[in-house]
Amino acid sequence: MKILTVGSGGREHAITWRLAQDEAKHELYCAPGNAGTAALATNLALGAEDVANIAAWAAENKPDLVVVGPEAPLCKGLVDALAEVGVKAFGPCAAGARMEGSKRFAKEVMNAAGVPTGRAQVFTDPAAAKAALPEYGLPVVIKADGLAAGKGVVVAETAEQAEAAIDDMLVGNKFGAAGAEVLIEEFLDGEECSILALVDGENAVLLPGSQDHKRVFDGDKGPNTGGMGAYSPAPVVTPAMMPDIKERIILPVVRELKKRGIVYRGVLYAGLMITPPGGKKALSGSAINVVEFNARFGDPETEAVLPRLGGDFAKVLLSCAEGNLSETDVVVKDEMAATVIVASGGYPGSYAKGKPIAGLDDAAQVPGAIVFHCGTKVQDGQVLTSGGRVLSVTGLGKDLRTAVDTAYAAVAKISFDGAFHRADIAHRAFNR
pTM of the model: 0.95
Mean pLDDT, rounded, for 226-252: 96
State which CATH number among 3.90.600.10, 3.20.20.70, 3.10.180.10, 3.40.50.80 fits the domain covering 336-431: 3.90.600.10
Is 259 a residue whose pLDDT tops 70? yes
Over residues 74-87, the pLDDT tens digits come to 999 999 999 999 99
Q: What percent of the chain is modeled with pLDDT above 90?
A: 93
Q: Could you tell me the fold of the domain covering 125-180? A: Dna Ligase; domain 1 (3.30.1490)
CA distance 41 to 18: 12
Residues 6+ apart with CB under 8 A from 312: 22, 23, 24, 329
Alpha-carbon distance 376 to 354, whole Å?
9
User: Is residue 279 over pLDDT 90?
Assistant: no
The CATH number of 191-332 is which of 3.30.565.10, 1.20.1250.20, 1.20.1740.10, 3.30.470.20? 3.30.470.20
Domain ranges of the chain: 2-93, 125-180, 191-332, 336-431
pLDDT tens track for 387-397: 999 999 999 99
CATH class of 2-93: alpha beta
The DSSP bridge partners found for residue 183 are: 122, 143
- Give yes or no on whether 125-180 and 336-431 have one common fold: no
* pLDDT range class, residue 281, cuts 50, 70, 90: low
β-sheet bridge partners, residue 376: 385
Q: Which residues contact 384 (CB under 8 A, 6 or more apart)?
A: 353, 354, 355, 356, 357, 376, 377, 378
Q: What is the pLDDT of residue 316?
A: 98
**What integer best gives the mean pLDDT of the chain?**
96
Kindly report, residue by residue over 83-124, the tens digit of the pLDDT: 999 999 999 999 999 999 999 999 999 999 999 999 999 999
